[in-house]
Amino acid sequence: MNAETKAQLISIGSVNMDPSLIHRLTIPTAGPGAGNLAFFFNSGGHRVRLAVKSGSPLLAEMENGELVIRKEDIEIARGGIEDELIHCPDQAFVTMCEKCIFDCTFCPVPKLSGKVKSMEQMLKMISDAHLSGKMKAISITSGVEESPEHEVTRAEELIYMLRERYNVPIGVSVYPTEDSSRRLKVAGADELKYNVETMDREIHLRVCPDQKLEHVLNALKEGVEIFGKNTVCSNFIIGLGETDRSAERGIEELVSIGVVPILRAAAKHPLREGEVIIERPSAQRLLHLNHYLRQKLDEYGLRADTFETMCLPCTGCDINPHIDL
C-alpha cells in the first residue's frame, strides 16, 4: 500500500468482509466513527482503520494468511490485520466519558448515551494493557459529561496517577478551559490535542454551536507555549462543505501558531442523517491537502512524525504527512 492506495481506502472508509476474521473487534466509542465495527489493516508500513460494512464497494478476503482488498475484482492492497491494544495498536487510548453535552452536528456521540468510566476502571484497563508488554503510550480523550471543567479535572487526576505508575508518553485531548494546558502539563502530560473540528468560521458556527473556535485557537496557542514545539495537535475535519482554499487557509493558520493539524475525512453517521452535509473527501482531495500540509509543516519547521501519542503515530484514520507521504 502506498499513499495513493491509503488515500483511496480512507476515502471509501470501509470494506465488505467476514467480521470473524478480526480477532479483537474494534468499536470506537469516541468521535465521528463511534459505534461502527472496524479493524486495523497494515500494508507496506502504512496503517489504515477500516469499518466493516456489507454494502462497501471494496471486498476483503483472506488469502494465504494475507488480507487482500479488491475493488471490482482488481486487487488494490494486500497486508495484515493488526491487533489493537486499547482502541488502537501500541497504545492504551482511553475515552473517559462516552457521552457529550455538546451537540456537534456531525458527531453521533451525543446520541449514543455511552458510559462514563470510573478512575478504577480506567486504571485497571491501562494496567492490563501495560501487562501485555505492548503499551508504548497512553492517550486520554473524553466527551463532555457535565462541563469542560469537570473533564479537565478528571483528566488531571488520572494523569497524576498514571505518571506515578508508568514511564511512557501520555497524551491528552479534551475541550480546553482557561487553565487546562498548564494543569495537564503539571499533572504529567507530554502531548496535547484540542480539536478545532473545522477552521471555516462560518461552518464552525453551524456545526459546532456549543464550541467557540476562537477560544480553542487561543488555548492551542497557549498549549504550544506550555507544552513546546511538536507536541500540540488538532483534528481538522475535511468534508463539511469547506473549499480547498478555506482548508488551506485553516492549515496555514494552525501551523503558523505551532499546531500540527490532523486532516480527518468527514464521515456520515446514520444518527445524524439530515442534520449536516457531509462530502466525504476523495483520495485526490486528501492527497492534495496533505501535500499542502506537509509543505506548510516543513516551512514552519514542524513534524508530524515525532508525536508519540494519540492519532499522529497511530495513523489509522488519516494520512500522516511525514509518515505516509
Q: How far is the CB of 64 from ligand SF4 (least distance, A)?
A: 27
Is 94 near ligand SF4 (CB under 6 A)? Answer: no
Determine contact, residues 155/122, Cβ cutoff 8 Å: no
Q: How far is the CB of 289 from ligand SF4 (least distance, A)?
A: 16
Q: How far apart are CA 101 and CA 99, in angstroms?
A: 7
Distances (CA, A) of 99 to 30, 119, 192: 9, 16, 21
Q: How far is the CB of 191 from ligand SF4 (least distance, A)?
A: 12
**Binding to ligand SF4 in span 249-308, by CB under 6 A:** none
Q: Indicate the residue type of 271.
A: L
CA end-to-end span of the chain: 12
DSSP-derived secondary structure letter, 35: T
Determine contact, residues 80/48, Cβ cutoff 8 Å: no
Q: Which one of 39, 41, 93, 194 is in contact with ligand SF4 (CB under 6 A)?
A: 93
- SS3 per residue for 37-67: CEEEEEECCEEEEEEECCCCCEEEEEECCEE
Burial bucket for residue 137 (CB in 10 Å: 0-12, 13-18, 19+):
buried
Instruction: Select 196 or 314, whichever has its Cβ closest to ligand SF4.
Output: 314
Q: How far is the CB of 178 from ligand SF4 (least distance, A)?
A: 27
Is 88 near ligand SF4 (CB under 6 A)? Answer: yes
Cα torsion angle, 194, 183, 116, 214, sign: negative
Determine contact, residues 252/296, Cβ cutoff 8 Å: yes
Q: Which one of 138, 217, 311, 319 is in contact with ligand SF4 (CB under 6 A)?
A: 311
Q: Of 50-58, 276-284, 296-304, 312-320, which part binds ligand SF4 (CB under 6 A)? A: 312-320
**Binding to ligand SF4 in span 120-139, by CB under 6 A:** none
Q: How far is the CB of 49 from ligand SF4 (least distance, A)?
A: 5
| 22 to 61: interface string for ligand SF4, x by CB under 6 A | ---------x-----------------x------------
Q: Of 71-79, 124-132, 157-165, 314-322, which part binds ligand SF4 (CB under 6 A)? A: 314-322
Is 316 near ligand SF4 (CB under 6 A)? Answer: yes
Q: How far is the CB of 225 from ligand SF4 (least distance, A)?
A: 25
- Take residue 224 and report the three cell numbers written for it: 504550544
Q: Of 96-104, 175-183, 222-230, 310-318, which part binds ligand SF4 (CB under 6 A)? A: 310-318
Instruction: Select 222 or 308, whichever has its Cβ closest to ligand SF4.
Output: 308
Helix (H) or strand (E) holding 155: helix 148-165
How many residues of this chain bind ligand SF4 (CB under 6 A)?
11
Which stretches of 13-147 are DSSP H helices?
Answer: 109-112, 119-131
Q: How many CA atoms lie within 13 Å of 73's alpha carbon, on the beta-carbon side?
A: 0
Q: How far apart are CA 256 and CA 254, in angstroms?
A: 5
Instruction: Select 189 or 314, whichever has its Cβ closest to ligand SF4.
Output: 314
Instruction: Select 32 or 148, whichever has its Cβ closest to ligand SF4.
Output: 32
Q: How far is the CB of 292 from ligand SF4 (least distance, A)?
A: 20
Q: How far apart are CA 174 and CA 187, in angstroms?
A: 14
Determine contact, residues 240/276, Cβ cutoff 8 Å: yes
Q: Of 69-77, 159-167, 239-247, 316-324, which part binds ligand SF4 (CB under 6 A)? A: 316-324
Residues that bind ligand SF4 (CB under 6 A): 31, 49, 87-88, 93, 310-311, 314, 316-318
